Each structure stands twice: as structure tokens, then as C-alpha cells.
Amino acid sequence: MQTEISRQSLSNEAIELIAARFRALGEASRLKLILAVEHEEKNVSQLGAATGFSQPNVSRHLHTLTEAGILTRRKERMNVFYTIADTTICPLCREVVGNLQKRLFAHRPL
């Protein structure tokens, strides 16, 4: 059973945290990085190879995603590996894509 979240049930601090989470998701490069680690953890080099982004760019976006609590990091010797920390993120992205596809399909001329 889903519960309805109303404005009155959320504190201002909670609303700010939610907004910060969506800001972190509001960059296409970050979404690509999330998808790159959806099924297995990867280090910065692997993420750069998977996305085509430079190492500094990958590192900057990973920092934002980690600070937002979307990804988590694990250090192993000289490597830092990233994986999904918030397991609701990928289903949320799939839900948005599904809704967009329905909307586009509904507006397609016959």
C-alpha cells in the first residue's frame, strides 16, 4: 500500500533534501554514471571508459552523487569503487522513462 506524502507531513529540511536529490539527478552525465554502476561497481577509470567522460569530469559527478547519497564508494588499495547506495534510484528512473514513453506514444499522430 502506497502512502500519500503531503506538504504538511514533510519538514522544510526534508523538502530541501528531496530537492537536493533531484538536483543531483538533473544532469544527464550523472544519470549515465548511475546506469553504468546499476549492475556492478566500477572505479573511476572504468566509469570513464563506459561513459566517454574525462577522469576529472567523472570524479566531479561522482562526488556530487556520493554527497547526495545516491552512490556509495569503497576504497581498495589505490582504487575507489562506486556502486548504488539508494536502491530506489534506478526504479525511479525506469518509472520516469516509462511515463515519458506513454506520453510520447499518446501524442504520436496516427
pTM: 0.80
Separation in Å, CA 18 to CA 12, 22, 73? 10, 6, 21
Cα gap 75→82, rounded to integer Å: 9
Over the chain (110 residues), what is each successive 10-residue block's mean pLDDT? 60 90 93 95 97 96 95 95 95 89 79
Pairing mode of beta strands 71-76, 79-84: antiparallel
CB 35, CB 92: distance < 8 Å: no
Q: What is the predicted pLDDT for the residue at 1?
A: 39
Distance of CA 29 to the CA centre of its chain: 10
Contact call for residues 15 and 49 (beta carbons, < 8 A): no
Question: How confident is the model at residue 4, as a pLDDT?
Answer: 57
What's the helix, strand, coil split of the chain in %, to 5?
Answer: 60, 15, 30
Q: State residue 106's pLDDT score.
A: 83
CATH 3.30.420.40 fits 28-106, yes or no: no
